[in-house]
Amino acid sequence: MPTVFVNPERCIGCLQCEFACATEHSRSREQALAPFELPVPRKRIHVEAGFRPGSSFPNKCRHCDPAPCQLVCPTGAIRRDADHDLVLIDESRCIACAMCAMVCPFDVITYYPLAGGSREGAVAVKCDGCIERLQAGRIPACAEACKVGALEFGELNEIVAGGRKRQAAVVLAATTAEPIQSMPGTIAAWRDLGAATANAGGSR
């Protein structure tokens, strides 16, 4: 089943996926209009700071199977779509009890009022896999917006196989590269300057 695969090492923290996600779940679905809507359209993907300075990680729902959020929901508001294998929330049945957020191992469920929602007040909000886009033969908004390949949409085994091939190519290129025979001129000049400075200082 196609899914959005995360390549965290490629993420540059540009937040384009967040903006595309919020726009896709707005009333207008227009980038120029969505930020001014009330209630404000909410993102379903969250770009978090990585473990190393300057790194980031796009965190999103994994649509677990079995899904802990679905198992604990007391009203049956969370279900699995059989056609696309996505875990979805029916906001009309959500009572915002936060049981799903408590058991989610990836901390991807938030609570906000939704535009055009059938229920007043905050409800559980999470990634729906852009199911309407999938039904129309399009890919999820976050993967479409990502320009660096941090989010890829496709069959999981094919994406992983592609990653293995890329890594193998990098390793092969490193092991077969010819060693540098001569020192670059800029480095040689820098070393000559250092040697000359040391000799001048030592003659005093």
Indicate the pTM of the whole model.
0.77
β partners of residue 4: 153
Residue ranges of domains in the chain: 2-60+127-168
**Cβ-based burial of 169 (10 A; exposed 0-12, middle 13-18, buried ≥19):** exposed
How far apart CA 116 and CA 42 sit, in angstroms, is: 13
The values of phi and psi at residue 49, to 5°, are: -65, 140
Kindly indicate whether the domain formed by 2-60+127-168 is annotated with CATH number 3.30.70.20.
yes
144 to 17, 43, 46, 170: CA distances (angstroms):
8, 15, 16, 26
Per residue of the chain (204 residues), what is the pLDDT tens digit?
A: 899 999 988 999 999 999 999 999 999 999 999 999 999 999 999 999 988 888 899 999 999 999 999 999 999 999 999 999 999 999 999 999 999 999 999 999 999 998 766 677 899 999 999 999 999 999 999 999 999 999 999 998 999 898 888 889 888 888 877 766 677 778 888 888 888 888 876 544
7 to 4, 143, 150, 155: CA distances (angstroms):
10, 11, 4, 14
